[in-house]
Structure 1
Amino acid sequence: MTKPRSAATMLHVDLDAFFASVELLDKPHLVGKPAVVAHESGRSVVTSATYEARRLGIRSAMPLANAQRLCPNLIVLPPHRELYTAASRTVMQIFRDITPLVEPLSIDEAFLDVAGAGRLFGSPTEIAALIRSRVRDATGLTCSVGGGGTKFVAKVASQRAKPDGVLIVHPTRTLEFLHPLPVSVLWGVGGVTGEHLRRLGVNTVGDLAALPIATLRAAVGEASSEHLHNLALGHDVRQVNVTREEKSISNESTFEYDVSDPAEVRQQLLRLSLKVGERVRNAGVLARTVGIKIRWDDFRTVTRSRTLPEPTGVGRQIYEEAVQAFHELDGQGKRVRLVGVRAENLVGADSGGSLLWDPYEQWRDAEQAIDTVSQRFGKHSVTAAALLRPESQAPDRNFTKPTTDSANP
């Protein structure tokens, strides 16, 4: 069993309103105003919102149209993924310069175990201040840092410190910190579980900690009861995992209008597949499974996946599998609102088999050449020819499986 920490050497660092903050770096005149990152379209959703926008009730994943109703003067900032990736790399390297024990959770947050960094950099509070200073100096961005004796406490503390703050909870004060908080801060307490707990009179973490385990088990089940009971008592044995691997790589897009023309759907699948293929290659992995996500105009969402005989990082192959999965759907008479492509079951780039004849060898060479050109001249300096053709002027009313593929790069 892992020995409890005697100091708050588990840190959680979270960049503040990351995407929005990156977009505002070269727009200082917009700082302090309500703004969101989103595509300028009535069908778009909010990717990120500044704190000024959040105070008006605007949140990530909210339809942009709803956000604009809440704030008619809302500033809409188009997203630039390459800027976020570059900023994230800089920040993660800052973390690793302080400790090798870094576990990225996403592009804008990570856990750090700084137990071995004290001799060089001081106390957890001093290390938190150093991190924030280095991040600000290197990127112009702010971050919030939470510290505790466990991952859970560190994560909760960073959320309570937002924006642009630090909150370090010494292990001896863990329960004093946790118990007054709403029970919703516990990982695993969502809408349904929260309602079950409220019926039992459980509103705070302390309420749950005091609840007999048998009562909790009857309300939320065996596995969830043990998990929530441990968190409420401040128990969390998880350590920083420096070998954490991305489980899947995906991209999705919402159409400007509901689409019924299969050619338009295939063209978007091609665009997304090439993006996913590029990200797979950049991550140094291959995908054993390709999946798609389709949202119909009635908001019903379906997913399908296909497992490959050999793992791939070729966008063209990802596209062909995605198209096959799409045509296997019963889409007769339906319109598409959103499409997504996903690469999963990721393995190391050296896991590919050695086929005597590889039908995608030329595509692989072509896409690697595109990667090289894009790295030198920019993301959109070269692309597939099929992505440049105009969209159909007279979309088909219904889906029919085509006899030929009209989206060949």
Structure 2
Amino acid sequence: MEDAVTSEAAGAERPALQRKIIHVDMDAFYASVEQRDKPELRGKPVAVGHALERGVVAAASYEARNFGVHSAMPSVTARRKCPDLIFVKPRFDVYKAVSQQIREIFAEHTPLIEPLSLDEAYLDVTENMHGIATATEIAEAIRTKIKAKTGLTASAGVSYNKFLAKMASDQGKPDGLFVITPKMGPSFVEVLPVKKFHGIGPATNAKMERLGIRTGADLRAQTLPFLQEHFGKAGPYYYWISRGIDERPVHPDRVRKSIGAEDTFARDLFMIAEAHEGLRPLIEKIWRYCENNEIHGRTVTLKVKYADFHQITRRRTSHQIIRSQAELQTMAFCLLDPVFPVEKGIRLLGVTISSLEAELVSEELQMSLAI
């Protein structure tokens, strides 16, 4: 009875759509970049920061962490814990460049990317650009690509909400992958110490301990009014995460400039009707993304790769935003049809819509309503 009442009071229910969320966290990012670029540092305790009396550690390698050194620790304390600690001045321009490489890998799979820092982000892959069935497979593909492109390792957590995905990524570090399924979620939270909960810092943890709340099970035992009384607006959040429920969406930091999909076919295409059939699911996938994220564009680009891997692109821009899947399909077919007849078979087709703007739709609707 209490769950039903508090659910109504909190104004929250389980989401109708089961999300697939990945949390990617680079392993000792700044320090790992330094060890990658400077072989003499590999295998040694490294701290990125300034070895000054008032200096602070920005990041620590895993070798340094074994001595108890961690980020935000005063440099003097770090040196005391690890006398052989090697301090390296930070190179934020390099870290930003590597972070951009990693972001580009994320964007190959989903436009729904919420960066938390240069080395950490949430991804919503409920729908993904390659039609991969499971978020676990996507997470593994991303980790593999990051390793190949940057030489660095990333840990990933996969779950049905942001809170549990974040908790999962901590479980496999370093260079790990951990999955928390909907069936596992509540029991995983029950045994977790609240001091390990993302969003519960030392001060809140101390307050919870004074109230006798030390584990997820202890937190779940509290009523919503009790948590609101002691933790204010954060009370409902604690109430729901103790049950493995977190409905916060992944908020992209910006609208992508383009969104596309492509497919490599099992056999080469020679007939225009086959090519049309090959494009339709790609167009449907792109349009679904546009609708779900309330974004529309004006420019359509067609990509054609032939059997000999020669590639061409064709582009067309509309004077007005593309308002329907049918309109998008018409523009894509108009770009495709002049390619035929073909002497060499087509092994891959891709479609991209660009000049995306989220606010464009509402602006133009207001204009049309005014008229």
Q: TM-score range by the shorter chain?
A: 0.5 to 0.7
Paired residues of 1:5 and 1:171 also in contact (CA < 8 A): no
Structure 1 partner of 2:286: none
Question: Deviations along 1:144-185, whole A, 9 cap, x unmatched?
Answer: 100111111111111222111001111121112111111123
Structure 2 partner of 1:240: 250
Paired residues of 1:43 and 1:63 also in contact (CA < 8 A): yes
Structure 1 partner of 2:185: 174
Paired residues of 1:38 and 1:44 also in contact (CA < 8 A): yes
Question: What is the RMSD computed on CA atoms of the aligned residues?
Answer: 2.0
Tell me, in whole angstroms, the C-alpha distance in 1 between the residues paired with 2:129 and 2:182: 16
**The residue matched to 1:100 in structure 2 has which SS?**
coil
Paired residues of 1:213 and 1:225 also in contact (CA < 8 A): yes
Q: Is 1:89 matched up with 2:100?
A: yes
1:43 counterpart (49, 54, 63): 54
**The residue matched to 2:123 in structure 1 has which SS?**
strand
Tell me, in whole angstroms, the C-alpha distance in 1 between the residues paired with 2:203 and 2:164: 23
Structure 2 partner of 1:121: 132
Paired letter, 2:36: L
Structure 2 partner of 1:145: 156
Q: 1:46 to 1:197 in 2, by over 3 A?
A: same
1:3 counterpart (15, 27, 39): 15
| 1:119 Cα offset (Å) | 5.5
Paired residues of 2:166 and 2:198 also in contact (CA < 8 A): no
Tell me, in whole angstroms, the C-alpha distance in 2 between the residues paired with 1:52 and 1:31: 9
**The residue matched to 1:193 in structure 2 has which SS?**
helix
Structure 2 partner of 1:160: 171
Tell me, in whole angstroms, the C-alpha distance in 2 between the residues paired with 1:83 and 1:204: 40
Question: Deviations along 1:265-305, whole A, 9 cap, x unmatched?
Answer: xxxxxxxxxxxxxxxxxxxxxxxxxxxxxxxxxxxxxxxxx
Structure 2 partner of 1:230: 240
Q: 1:47 to 1:223 in 2, by over 3 A?
A: same
After TM superposition, the structure 1 = structure 2 runs for residues 261-300 of structure 1, keeping only pairs within 5 Å, are none
Identity %: 41
| 1:25 Cα offset (Å) | 0.9
The alignment's TM-score, normalised by the length of structure 1, stands at 0.56
Tell me, in whole angstroms, the C-alpha distance in 1 between the residues paired with 2:130 and 2:221: 39
Paired letter, 1:222: G
**The residue matched to 2:93 in structure 1 has which SS?**
helix
Q: Is 1:192 matched up with 2:233?
A: no
| 1:2 Cα offset (Å) | 7.0
Question: Deviations along 1:229-282, whole A, 9 cap, x unmatched?
Answer: 11111221111111459xxxxxxxxxxxxxxxxxxxxxxxxxxxxxxxxxxxxx
After TM superposition, the structure 1 = structure 2 runs for residues 312-323 of structure 1, keeping only pairs within 5 Å, are none
Q: Number of paired residues? A: 243
Paired residues of 2:51 and 2:76 also in contact (CA < 8 A): no
Paired residues of 1:49 and 1:60 also in contact (CA < 8 A): yes
Structure 1 partner of 2:220: 209
Tell me, in whole angstroms, the C-alpha distance in 2 between the residues paired with 1:25 and 1:94: 19
Tell me, in whole angstroms, the C-alpha distance in 2 between the residues paired with 1:224 and 1:169: 24
The alignment's TM-score, normalised by the length of structure 2, stands at 0.62
**The residue matched to 1:216 in structure 2 has which SS?**
helix
Tell me, in whole angstroms, the C-alpha distance in 2 between the residues paired with 1:89 and 1:119: 21
Paired residues of 2:167 and 2:198 also in contact (CA < 8 A): no
After TM superposition, the structure 1 = structure 2 runs for residues 29-40 of structure 1, keeping only pairs within 5 Å, are 29-40=40-51
